[in-house]
Amino acid sequence: MELLDPLSVKYFKMVVDVKSIKKDTPTEVQSNCPLCGDKKHRLHLYRPKGFTKDVVHCFNAGCVLEEKHHSILNFLKLSKPDLVPVYKRENLDYYIQEIKGGSDPQSVLESIEKVVDKRGDPEIPLDKFFKKCKDSDACKGYVKHRGFQPKDDWYYSEDEFFEYNNKKVYLKDYLIIPIYNNGKYKGFYSRSIKEKKFSTFLLPDTEKVWMSDPYIQPQDLEILTEGIFDSLSSGFQKCGAMLSASLSKEFMDKLNPDCIIALDNDETGIQKSIKYVKEGFKVFVPPDDWNFKDFNDAMISGVKPHEIKKMIVENSFTGILGLTKLKMKEI
């Protein structure tokens, strides 16, 4: 077996009780698991054959760490989240190994730290790796089917691939949409034009939220939807889209108190909306005669964005009223 990364060992031992360590070798560390607390089963830090990174695995069938191999970063998120920012600074392990053409894709994420000049178009390093969406008939056709014209900084990946977090992620036939934060280009969202698959590649400590303008702040947002195309279909100018299951507390603290959180018209969307209305936000409650799953579906079906906006505004609620209406949708 390959030698463990010393930094992985360091953070592993910071979380577990060192007195519980049963094995400590250059290739594997074993201890009791701090998450399930089962002393009969061992928590292992090791590097499986064929892997390029150290992983954490608990052999207790009832433990969350048993389901699959977990990265050190994921282990820290689950067991000691306060260590995660430190870990990211000391060991920027969010790298992407190799892109077709021989260039290190990490250079993509490093170059996106460049400051965007407000007086001109932002510098997009993605053009070194991908072709423009508008120059691809397939990608352009997909975007037009969703009801839009491709933007100048939208790209298309025909046959590229990444190795990301110990996994090869193929981006063949993917639309590439850049993500900004404070005018700085922080990474990109990729969505297959042939399947319902997507991936997001961001610099560490970047909120997984797409904004309709590079300089929009959380306090400026009028609406947050689940998907980018839903956001663009909503009829709101200052719009954004969640690209993850939840928003961080830091982001929510900055969010415009009048911002509407408008999620999909399905069971998952209703459950998430209940969570946000309990946090004090204004949420969209789909009316009974709203038969579309999301706003882009509605626009594709012929509903105009200004009509969608009006419907959202008239069906957005806070507090007990919003919670009651959402609970009724669950029945």
- Give per-residue pLDDT as tens, 3-26: 888 878 888 888 888 888 999 999
The DSSP code sequence of 51-91 is -SS-EEEE--TTSGGGSS-EEHHHHHHHH-GGGHHHHHHH-
Q: Is 101 left (phi over 0), alpha (psi -120 to 50) or beta?
A: left
Q: 176 pLDDT exceeds 80? A: yes
Give 129 or 175, the one with higher predicted confidence: 175
How much of the chain, in percent, has pLDDT values that exceed 90?
47
Q: Among 321, 303, 302, which Cα is nearest to 312's?
A: 303
Structure confidence at residue 1 as a pLDDT band (50, 70, 90)? low
Indicate the DSSP class of residue 96: B
- Residue 149 pLDDT: 94
94-204: CATH topology:
DNA primase DNAg catalytic core, N-terminal domain (3.90.980)
- Residue 107 pLDDT: 53
- Residue 38 pLDDT: 63
What's the chain's average pLDDT?
82
- Residue 124 pLDDT: 55
Q: 92 pLDDT exceeds 60? A: no
Structure confidence at residue 177 as a pLDDT band (50, 70, 90)? very high
Architecture category of domain 207-331 in CATH: 3-Layer(aba) Sandwich (3.40)
- Residue 155 pLDDT: 92
- Residue 221 pLDDT: 95
Distance between the two ends of the chain, CA-based, in angstroms?
A: 54
Q: 89 pLDDT exceeds 50? A: no
Region 118-122: mean pLDDT is: 41
Q: Which long-range contacts (CB under 8 A, 24 or more apart) does 224-228 make?
A: 224/255, 224/259, 224/260, 224/261, 224/262, 225/262, 225/263, 225/294, 225/295, 226/263, 226/264, 226/269, 226/294, 227/294, 227/296, 228/177, 228/189
Give 57 or 91, the one with higher predicted confidence: 57
Q: 212 pLDDT exceeds 90? A: yes
Give 161 or 48, the one with higher predicted confidence: 48
